[in-house]
Amino acid sequence: MKFAVRENLVQFWENLKNLLVFVEEDRGLSTNDLTDDLKTEYDDAYDHSQSTHAPSSAQVNVLEQVDVNGNTLYIHPDKTVDIEMPTKVSDLINDEGYLTEHPEITKSVDTTSSITTGDADQFSFVCAVDKDEFGHIISLKVKTVKLPESFDHPVSVIVPGTYRSVTVDSNGHLSAGSNPTTRDGYGLTDVPTFLEMAKIIDDGILNAEHLKREYVMTLCEAEDADPFTIYVVPKDEQDEENNICVEWMVINGQWEKLGDTAVDLSEYAMQDEINIASEREIDDMMISDEEAVQAIFALLEWDSIKLMNVVETDVSTDIILPRTGKDLDPETSIDTVIDWQSNNPAISVNADGKVTRPAYTTGDQVVTLVATIIKNMATIIRTFVLIISKLDPTDMEAVSLTKEFLTWDQIKQLNTIPDDVQTNLNLLTSGLHGAKITWQSSDPSVIATNGTVTRPTFTQGDKNVTLTATITRDDD
pLDDT in tens, 242-301: 557 788 888 777 888 877 766 555 555 555 555 555 555 555 566 788 888 998 899 999
Question: Model's pTM, two decimal places?
Answer: 0.39
pLDDT recorded at residue 240? 47
Q: CA 438 → CA 88, 322, 427, distances in Å?
A: 112, 52, 9
pLDDT tens digits for 366-401?
999 999 999 888 899 999 999 999 988 988 988 998
Which region, left, alpha or beta, applies to residue 29 given φ > 0 means left and ψ of -120 to 50 means alpha?
Answer: beta
CA nearest to 290, candidates 187, 176, 183: 176
Q: Which spans in 106-171 are helix H?
A: none
- The DSSP string of 334-387 is ---EEEEEESSTTEETTTTSEE-PPPTTT--EEEEEEEEEEETTEEEEEEEEEE
> Which range has the top average pLDDT, 114-128, 152-166, 254-268, 373-387?
373-387
CB of 332 closer than 8 Å to CB of 342: no
Neighbours of 235 (CB within 10 A): 14
pLDDT recorded at residue 207? 58
Q: Which H or E run contains 255?
A: strand 254-262
pLDDT recorded at residue 114? 41
- Residue 143 has phi, psi (to 5 degrees) of -110, 135
Asked if the model's pLDDT at residue 314 lies above 90, the reply is yes
Region 197-220 average pLDDT: 68
Eight-state DSSP code of residue 45: H
CB of 280 closer than 8 Å to CB of 316: no
CA nearest to 304, candidates 326, 321, 284, 324: 321
Orientation angle between helical segments 279-286 and 194-206, nearest 10 degrees: 120
pLDDT recorded at residue 19? 61
pLDDT tens digits for 338-369?
999 988 887 776 667 889 898 888 899 999 99
pLDDT recorded at residue 303? 93
Antiparallel, parallel or unpaired: β 254-262 and 337-342: unpaired
Residue of 227 and 54 predicted with greater confidence: 227
Residue of 258 and 40 predicted with greater confidence: 40
**The residue count for the chain:** 476
Region 322-326 average pLDDT: 89
pLDDT recorded at residue 142? 73
Percent of the chain at pLDDT exceeding 90: 23
Give CA–CA dist 221/261, Å, rounded. Answer: 22
- Of the pLDDT bands very low, low, confident and very high (cuts 50, 70, 90), residue 39 is confident
pLDDT tens digits for 410-461?
999 999 999 999 999 999 999 888 899 999 999 999 999 999 999 999 998 9
Give CA–CA dist 291/436, Å, rounded. Answer: 61
Give CA–CA dist 365/343, Å, rounded. Answer: 11
pLDDT tens digits for 56-113?
565 556 667 878 777 887 778 777 877 777 777 777 777 776 666 655 555 454 444 4
Q: Which H or E run contains 42?
A: helix 36-48
What are the DSSP E strand ranges found in 132-194?
Answer: 137-146, 165-168, 174-178
